[in-house]
Amino acid sequence: MGRVFSGAVLAFLSPLAAAQNQVNMSPGVTEIGADIFELHMLIMWICVVIGVAVFAVMFYSIYAHRKSKGHQASQFHESTKVEVAWTVVPFLILIAMAVPATSTLLEVYDNDEAELDILITGYQWKWKYEYLLESGEPVAFFSNLATSQEEIYNTDKKGDNYLLEVDEPLVIPTNTKVRFLVTANDVIHSWWVPEIAVKRDAIPGFINEAWTRVPEEGIYRGQCTELCGAYHGFMPVEVHAVSRDEFDAWMAAKRGAAAAQTQLAMQTLSVDDLMDQGKAVYDSACLACHGAQGQGGIGNAIAGSAVVMGDLSNHMAVVAKGVSGTAMQAFGGQLNDVEMAAVLTYQRNAFGNNTGDVVQPGDVNGMKNG
Amino acid sequence: MGEHHHGPAQGISRWLFTTNHKDIGTMYLWFSFAMFLLGGFFAMVIRAELFQPGMQLVEPGFFNQMTTLHGLVMVFGAIMPSFVGLANWLIPMMIGAPDMALPRMNNWSFWILPPAFLMLASTLFMEGGAPAFGWTFYAPLSTTYAAPSVTFFIFAIHILGVSSIMGSINIIATVMNMRAPGMTYMKMPLFVWTWLITAFLLVAVMPVLAGAVTMMLMDIHFGTSFFSAAGGGDPVLFQHIFWFFGHPEVYIIILPAFGVVSQIIPAFSRKPLFGYASMVYATASIAFLSFIVWAHHMYTVGMPIAGELFFMYATMLIAVPTGVKVFNWISTMWRGALSFETPMLFCIGFLILFTLGGFTGLMLSIAPADFQYHDTYFVVAHFHYVMVAGAVFSMTAAVYYWLPKWCGRMYNEAMGKTHFWISFIGFNITFFPQHFVGLAGMPRRIPDYALQFADFNMMSSIGAFIYGASQLLFLYNVIATVLAGKPVSDEKVWDGAEGLEWTVPTPAPYHTFEEPPAVPKPAGTI
């Protein structure tokens, strides 16, 4: 109770004292961000000036023209001159606002001549980033919320970047025009990073364009800004802007890892490897709904499940295609063959399911194509 | 036909079968107040969860049900029916008509509302929970990905639409046909004018909403793909249709509020409205513009730049007629003889806060800046300044202003003023900080938030509890007035009040203007 009270007192005082209570838009780090910020401030100050003038007249009237002071009401009404003036003057002010607004909008829409294209796909409730490269191994990965359930449900202390941290951030090079192609897999999402002034709706079946050129290295955070279901508040965006060299090194490492996965998919993996990797996939993709012990929750129990312990191809179909009309989403596009094989193996052997079935990446590939 | 002809029927049948505009108006007003409390309760759940970062009271899915139902109940259950109730009570008395033109339809348009809201509220207890896709119900979240209760939601929206359309047709028919001799259009009180224009808006756009939910129903149950790209449809189409309804809808909410304020400010300034004709033209201009600005809700969906520019310019233009209105109200107060009874206080509160909401609206109309504002708490702050401080404050002013005429008893002025000050302060503590968190980057419709937003959210929640509690004082004041308020018998309860409704006895008898009155002077003169 004492904490809540002091919090309440702080809430009233801190806007004056504490710096972390940001009260205005941030100009961010990009040129467009700065332009938008200037435009925002310009319009705001125009509104403030008009507001002060209008309210000054009103408050003077409230002060001076009171009946209680014996003020007699005059009975004037209508004046064409005044009425024309207060129609025309605001119109002229609006034209003055429209000029910078139009030029900034044209900048926002200038998607040409990008040096790097990244396809961003919104999923319930994570982002997928795919670097559209002209050659070599494709680089694509999912970016999930990294904040723990314990922090969200108040059993652990919340970290500094609570709800704004991901397991794998988007990495972009600085001083490079990066074009984002934004779409979604299920419902509409919206990809927003305030500091680089990019917000674009991610719409299933459509691809929207946006762009940025980040001059400074740094970590920029944002969130999904279109209601997309229960965990809409839990799909942050984290962008790391790094130097060109660092980016190239990161890209090479990513490609190496992707190539290794492709290699792996052609091999026969040991049960231990499958179980280890399967647990990792389960914990990131399944656990939130099906429980840490496979006991179920939002989703059905995995332990003792007829689907999991029954026909393998049906089991994989459920995982890959989801169950329409339920919270069970389709993971087919999110897991590669190795991950799919691992998680199937894990589900069929963990939590006392002990079927002894081992699913190899080759089996997954076979079922997909057959 | 005996002596009972002039009085109401006895018992419950009076209310079930009544065709009397005053009875129906009363039922609308009480129903809307009940919905206001229900929607307010949902808001309290939202603010309680957002009191601190982290999930405390409810689960994220349930939080979304609360935001959705809060919006739906407030827009369709509280604000719209409250103004229809006001129209029922006042329009016949203002134009010298004995009743509404279509009294049986009037009964029906009210009585289908409670079952519709009962059905909507019952979705809370259904498997999968209530609708959780926001009051804007964007597809495909509201179709393919919705809980089964969405079908009940669609049916409820259909019924509300039917009710609104019937109510509007009735208002149009009444105003066009039932005016007393001499009551020309340009003599009608502004409240009647704003409602006439609002009724046309409703008749124009409620069928569009009905179309949208019918397409959803088809997508959900009959295998069509209006809003699914996979089947050749378009999720953005939904937003165009929704906002083609939705933008006029916000003017449907605010125009009658303008009408109320245009009645009350002259009364307590003891001075005619400054520019009656320009107010009528400004209202009509706003109504026209409301049809060509809808996509300013959709600046981030990826429209072509030409569309983006058109909707930006058209939206900015709305500032002109809205400015004309504000200037008119202030010129009306200028050199009047002002007094500050509760209705006037709420109107001045309206004037200040609605104007602030108008300024943020102008900021939001600037498309490039909207890329930063869109779907943040800045928007939430903006529309609560226009919806709550606009529509709800003016509705509250209307109740205090006309209540003595309705029931022949005076409300407690000290309690009314207390209600105003607590509301005004509570409202601003709630919503002003939301501008800050929105600009700082907090998205709307999230059940939990990053730590830098914590202080302002706590402040906002405290303000919301204060504002919410002050409405119970309002409820108490109204009930106490109706049951045991100080009797008033002056026909003109307020010395500055003008209009035909103030020429009938107080309290207004069950039937008024069975003989058409003489219409002495144009509205807007004394």
Q: Is residue B519 part of a domain?
A: no
A276: domain CATH number?
1.10.760.10
Which of B30, B108, B111, B135 is the catalytic position?
B135
Residue of A nearest to B59 (CA): A230
Set B21, B297, B382, B384: catalytic member: B297
Q: Tell whether A151 and A237 lie within a shared domain.
A: yes
Over residues B471-487, the mean pLDDT reads 96
Encode pLDDT of B11-43 as tens digits: 888 999 999 999 999 999 999 999 999 999 999
Q: Minimal CA–CA distance to B418: which of B468, B483, B466, B473?
A: B473
Cβ–Cβ under 8 Å, residues B226 and B215: yes
Give yes or no for a contact between B381 and B349, defined as CB atoms under 8 angstroms apart.
no
pLDDT at residue B359 is higher than 60 = yes
Contact B142, B150 (CB under 8 A): yes
Kindly report the number of other CB atoms within 10 A of residue A354's CB atom.
Answer: 10
> In chain A, what residues touch B363 (CB-CB under 8 Å)?
40, 43-44, 47
Q: Name the range with the highest mean pLDDT among A204-208, A323-327, A366-370.
A: A204-208
Among A32-46, A342-356, B438-452, where is mean pLDDT lowest?
A: A342-356
Find, among A136, A143, A137, the residue nearest to A121 by Cα: A143
Q: Which residues constitute the domain of residue A324?
A: 266-369
What are the φ/ψ torsions at residue A30 (nearest 5 degrees)? Answer: -100, 165
Amino acid symbol at B383: F
Query: Which residue of A77, A91, A158, A200 to mutate against B (max B Cβ within 10 Å)?
Result: A77
* Domain stops at, among A243, A261, A279: A261
Angle between helices B393-407 and B80-95 (to 10 degrees): 50
Residues A210 and A328 in one domain: no
Would you state the pLDDT for residue A157? 93
Contacts of B331 in chain A (CB under 8 A): 82
B219 catalytic per annotation? no
For residue B435, indicate whether it is catalytic.
no
> B162-171: per-residue pLDDT in tens?
999 999 999 9
**Residue B70 catalytic?**
yes
Closest chain A residue to the Cα of B330, Cα to Cα: A58
Cβ A184 vs Cβ A204: under 8 Å: yes
Calculate the average pLDDT of chain B.
94
For residue B411, give the CATH number of its domain: 1.20.210.10
Residue A58 to residue B61, Cβ atoms within 8 A: no
- Give the number of domains in chain B: 1
Higher-confidence residue of B440 and A293: namely B440
Q: Which of A90, A158, A226 is facing B319, going by the closest CB pair? A: A90
Out of A277-281, B133-137, B173-177, least confident range: A277-281
Same domain, A186 and A132: yes
Beta-bridge mates of residue A289: none
* Percent of the residues in chain B that have a pLDDT greater than 70, as a whole number: 98
Smallest CA–CA distance from A70 into chain B, residue: B337
Instruction: Please say if B99 is a catalytic residue.
Output: yes
Containing B259, the helix (H) or strand (E) segment is: helix B235-269
Q: Which of B311, B365, B446, B498 to mutate to test the interface with A (most CBs of A within 10 A)?
A: B446
What mean pLDDT value characterizes chain A? 88
pLDDT bucket at A1, cuts 50 / 70 / 90: very low
For residues B160-179, give the mean pLDDT: 96
Q: Do the Cβ atoms of A15 and B277 come within 8 Å? A: no
- Structure confidence by residue, pLDDT tens digits, A116-141: 999 999 999 999 999 998 877 778 89
In-domain check, residue A152: yes
The CB-side HSE value for B338 (13 A sphere, CA atoms) comes to 24
Look at residue A5 and tell me if it is in a domain: no
Residues of A in contact with B369 (CB under 8 A): 36, 39-40, 43, 101
A23 interaction partners in chain B (CB closer than 8 Å): 435-436, 439-440
Report the pLDDT value the prediction gives residue A15, as an integer from 0 to 100. 44
Reported as a single tens digit per residue, the pLDDT across A69-119 is: 888 888 888 888 999 999 999 999 999 999 999 999 999 999 888 999 999
Q: pLDDT for B234-269, tens place per residue?
A: 999 999 999 999 999 999 999 999 999 999 999 999
Task: Choose the weakest-confidence range: B6-10, B36-40, B352-356, B389-393.
Answer: B6-10
Q: Say what the pLDDT of residue B436 is.
A: 96
Q: Is the domain of A217 the same as that of A126?
A: yes
Is B15 part of the annotated catalytic residue set?
no
Is B270 a catalytic site residue?
no
| pLDDT tens-digit readout, B288-345 | 999 999 999 999 999 999 999 999 999 999 999 999 999 999 999 999 999 999 999 9
Q: Are residues A202 and A309 in the same domain?
A: no
Dump pLDDT digits (tens) for A264-309: 777 888 888 889 989 988 988 888 788 888 888 778 889 888 888 8
Give pLDDT, residue B3.
Answer: 44
C-alpha to C-alpha distance for A361 and B180, rounded to whole angstroms: 84
CA angle A197, A201, A205 (to 5 degrees): 145
Look at residues A234, A261, A288 and tell me which one is the last residue of a structural domain.
A261
Co-location of A197 and A317 in the same domain: no
Q: At how many degrees (to 10) do helices B393-407 and B454-484 cross?
A: 10
pLDDT at position A18 over 80: no
Mutate to test the interface with B, among A13, A29, A124, A199 (most CBs of B within 10 A): A199
Domain boundary among A232, A261, A290: A261
CB contact under 8 A, A43 and B271: no
Q: Is the peptide bond before A15 cis (omega within 30 degrees of 0)?
A: no
Residues A282 and A252 in one domain: no
Active-site entry in B247, B271, B382, B409: B247
Residue B526 confidence (pLDDT) above 70: no
Percent of chain A clearing pLDDT 70 (strictly above): 94
Helix/strand/coil for B385: helix
- The predicted pLDDT at position A259 comes to 81
Question: Which ranges in chain A belong to alpha helices (H)?
Answer: 2-17, 31-64, 80-108, 149-152, 244-265, 271-281, 287-290, 306-309, 312-321, 337-349, 361-369
Residues A249 and A176 occupy one common structural domain: yes
For residue A370, pLDDT beyond 90 = no
Determine the pLDDT at residue B344.
97
A257 has pLDDT over 90: no
Query: Is the pLDDT reported for residue A20 higher than 90?
Result: no
pLDDT at res. B223: 92
pLDDT for position B302: 93
Do A294 and A364 sit in the same domain of this protein? yes
Query: Is B297 designated active site?
Result: yes
Domain count, chain A: 3
Same domain for A170 and A256:
yes
Determine, for residues A43 and B366 on separate chains, whether the beta-carbon distance falls below 8 Å. yes
In a domain, B113, yes or no: yes
- What's chain A's length in residues? 370
Domain span at B338: 10-502
Best residue in B64, B67, B141 to probe A by mutation, most A CBs within 10 Å?
A: B141
Residues of A in contact with B141 (CB under 8 A): 187-188, 227-229
| Shared domain check, A191 and A97 | no
Phi, psi of B140 (to 5 degrees): -90, 5
Residues of A in contact with B56 (CB under 8 A): 154
The predicted pLDDT at position A72 comes to 87
- Partner-chain contact A160 B451, CB within 8 Å: yes
**Tokens read off for B129:** 């929970």
Contact B375 A8 (CB under 8 A): no
Confidence of residue A325 (pLDDT cuts 50, 70, 90): low
Residue A156 lies in a domain: yes
Answer yes or no: B325 catalytic.
yes
Euclidean distance between CA atoms B337 and B372, whole angstroms: 45
Q: How far apart are CA B391 and CA B385, in angstroms?
A: 9
For A55, B230, B350, the CA distances from B358, given in Å and listed in that order, are 14, 40, 11
Which run of H or E residues covers position B306? helix B305-317
Query: Is residue B5 domain-resident?
Result: no
pLDDT band for position B5 (cuts 50, 70, 90): low
Give me the mean pLDDT over the A317-327 stretch: 80
What is the edge-to-edge ordering of all strands in the sheet holding A236-242?
A170-173, A236-242, A218-224, A189-193, A198-202
- Are residues A127 and A191 in contact, defined by beta-carbon separation less than 8 angstroms? yes
Q: How far is A109 from chain B (nearest CA, A)?
A: 7
* pLDDT of the residue at A367: 81
- Using an 8 Å Cβ cutoff, are A82 and A144 in contact? no
Do A246 and A134 fall within a single domain? yes
